[in-house]
A and B are shown apart, each in its own frame.
Chain A
Amino acid sequence: MSDERHDVAGAEDDAHVSHYLCIGCPLGCRLEVEEEDGEIVEVRGQSCKKGEAFARQEHTDPRRVVTTTVAIEGSLWPRLPVKTEGDVPKDSVIDVCNLLHELRLEAPVTMGQVIAADVLGTGVDVVASRDLPRR
């Protein structure tokens, strides 16, 4: 009943080895990152270069693109889809969403328009994912 892949991801079986599920392709390689004194000494389990790069990135600085919606008035829909223009630290995703959910916009908005600049000091802007003209 349990999902092996779910159990392995992000888990540490001892102080030195961390496990990740590779997202590069459907093979879903189970990656292991071995660390000693804060340095990665070995990455195992990958079947291509993408896997190793992903494991190193996930282990040292996991980042995500955030997409959500922001309240907007005067347009066809009451929500505007938005995205971070680059990835932000994984730990900040919920905070970014909570900040965006406080905003109230007014149509019109155009695709690419900055909705929140340098969100939470990440250096990344949040932009509109579409035009929403005034009704």
Chain B
Amino acid sequence: MITPKPAQLQPRYDVVVVGGGPAGLAAAVGARESGAERVLVIDREPEAGGILQQCIHPGFGLHHFGEELTGPEYAQRAIEQTLERDVDVLSSAYVLDVASDRRLKVTSRDHGVAFLDAGAVVLAMGARERTRGAIRIPGERPAGVMTAGFAQKLVNLGGMLPGRRAVILGSGDIGLIMARRLVLEGVEVEGVYELMPHANGLNRNLVQCLHDYDIPLHLSTTVVHIDGRERVEKVTVAPVDEAYRPNMAKARDIACDTLLVSIGLIPDNELAHRLGLRLDPVTTGPVVTSTMETTRDGVFACGNVVHIHDLVDYVSQESELAGRGAGAYATGTPTPPDNVRLTPGENVRYCVPPTITTDREHTVYMRVTKPMAPCTLHLGDVYKRPLRYVFPGEMVTLKVRPRFLEGFHGGSLPVSIVPREEGGSA
């Protein structure tokens, strides 16, 4: 049974998780594992599983489940693991507000507007796609312009095609996967256009989604105009220079009825704003501790709310940790405060969590600003590790073990990734 039964609402839960995607489901498991009795997951869709339900392609689960799964398979396993632990799932529901005393205002199809008290709250709402408005493409506002992820939902869940002839802007993995998906459904894909001089998606997707179907990828090129009154009739594309300024002398028109934009994700943080949480200017997600607690006591966050992940496996791992933290908080189990700050150094954009303790093992996720190969990751002077390569699109993970920090008594450690000579020692 995949669709969870509607929950009987209680006035108070030990842990309430906002969002029933992979992050929320894993957080609920973590909360139960750490002793929370009553755990509720609130999700806006008619069934849990989040965006995985529409990601029908394989490539998920190699780290977390030890085998390669499609999105729906990963979702079903995550849902089963959650339901096995007597977690309630309230679907078709929205959290309208979270007060500072962790009273949630919830509206749902089955229960109307209700107020719930939570011993701890986990924010797991995921991310939103950037839209046409985010990059201000000039032109008219006809139907047929949509995000790649929305088109994916239309096609894979709704059984509807977005159009007959499509142009895709952005070479991230969602855009590449939708290019193939549309071709397999009989839609003509004229091409994929990418502002940057390099593709953003995985090589696997370049080969299996574009090359296999002879879909051209145009680098350093962007959409500069959208035309059409009721429906998209054409878009204009132009190459850009080093400063990303379009060269209109070389612009050309493409007849099409659909423009998909695949131009990045941003953490969904309306509730974080309402709660007045401190946000990180780099990730745009809440600042968290090593137990994934935000700057408000008893409010935790995980998954794409905190920073954009490239693998759902890491979302599950990080979110289970957040759930454990929330469960511990709700049951009054003390956790030692963080005492070491990780400061991003050369070629490190950010670290999550930004602070750790010296008493236990931590998994630190980080992103680099530029590709480097081969290179060495340095954790202050206490630890270093050779890496074959780093790429901005691929998160780097580092397990910080207590023994690395034996004899370390400082307050902060710089984390950097620097070039290494081929054949040289790390």
Chain A interface (Cβ within 8 Å of chain B)? 1-3, 5-6, 9-10, 20-28, 64-65, 67-69, 71, 76-79, 81, 83, 90, 93-94, 97, 101, 111, 129-133
Given contacts A78-B159, A79-B156, A130-B75, contact A69 B206 (CB under 8 A): no
For B147-183 the 0/1 string (1 means CB < 8 A from A) is 0000000011111000000000000000000000000
- On whether the beta carbons of B2 and A132 are closer than 8 Å, the reply is yes
The stretch among B29-37, B218-226, B327-335 that forms the contact with chain A is B218-226
What would 21 A/B residue contacts be, using CB atoms closer than 8 Å?
A5-B203, A6-B210, A6-B216, A20-B207, A21-B207, A22-B203, A23-B204, A27-B388, A28-B203, A64-B208, A65-B58, A67-B56, A68-B184, A69-B156, A71-B159, A78-B158, A79-B158, A90-B212, A111-B72, A129-B70, A129-B72
Q: Quick one: closest A residue to B208, CB to CB?
A: A64
On chain B, the residues within 8 Å of A111 by CB distance are 72-73, 76
Q: Which of B123-131, B287-295, B389-397 contacts A (4 or more CB under 8 A)?
A: B389-397
Residues of B with Cβ closer than 8 Å to A?
1-3, 46-47, 53, 56-58, 70-73, 75-76, 155-159, 184-185, 199, 202-204, 206-208, 210-212, 216-221, 239, 371, 373, 388-389, 391, 393-394
Contact assessment for A26 and B202 in the assembled complex, using a CB-CB cutoff below 8 Å: yes
Instruction: Find chain B residues with CB under 8 A from A67 CB.
Output: 56-58, 70
Residues on A with C-beta less than 8 A from B391 are: 26
Report yes or no: A133 in contact with B3, Cβ–Cβ below 8 A: yes
- On whether the beta carbons of B207 and A9 are closer than 8 Å, the reply is yes
| A76 and B46 form a contact (CB under 8 A) | yes
Kindly report which residue of chain A lies nearest to residue B216, judged by CB atoms. A6
**How far apart are A105's CB and chain B's nearest CB, in angstroms?**
12
Among all A-B residue pairs, the 6 with the closest Cβ atoms = A130-B72, A81-B56, A23-B204, A131-B2, A78-B159, A28-B203
A26 touches B394 (CB 8 A): yes
Evaluate contact between A26 and B158: CB separation under 8 angstroms.
no
Contact of B218 among A2, A71, A129, A131 (CB under 8 A): A2
What is the minimal beta-carbon distance from B254 to any residue of chain A, in angstroms?
14
**In the complex the two chains form, what is the Cα distance from A38 to B58 in whole Å?**
33
CB distance from A8 to the nearest CB of B (A): 9
Nearest A residue to B220 via CB reads A1
Would you call A131 and B58 a contact (CB within 8 A)? no
Partner of B158, one of A9, A77, A93, A94: A77
B211 lies within 8 A of A6 (CB):
yes
Q: Closest residue of chain B to A6, judged by CB?
A: B217
Chain A residues with CB under 8 Å of B216's CB are: 3, 6
Interface contacts beyond A25-B203, A25-B388, A133-B3: sample of 16 additional A-B pairs, CB < 8 Å, sorted by A: A1-B219, A2-B218, A5-B199, A9-B206, A21-B207, A22-B203, A23-B202, A65-B58, A67-B56, A67-B58, A68-B185, A69-B156, A76-B3, A83-B58, A130-B72, A131-B2
Which chain A residue has the least Cβ–Cβ distance from B373? Answer: A27
Q: How far is the CA of A83 from the CA of B203 in the complex (A)?
A: 21
List, in ascending order, chain B residues with CB within 8 A of A79's CB.
156-159
With known contacts A1-B219, A79-B156, A81-B70, A130–B76 Cβ distance under 8 A: yes
Provide the bound-state CA to CA distance between A22 and B211, in Å.
Answer: 12
Residues in B with CB closer than 8 Å to A81 are 56, 70-72, 156
Contacts of A21 in B (CB 8 A): 203, 206-207, 211
Q: Which residues of B contact A97 (CB under 8 A)?
A: 184-185
Q: What's the nearest-Cβ distance from chain B to residue A24, in Å?
A: 8
Question: Using Cβ atoms and an 8 Å threshold, which residues of chain A touch B155?
Answer: 69
Q: Are A27 and B389 in contact (CB under 8 A)?
A: yes
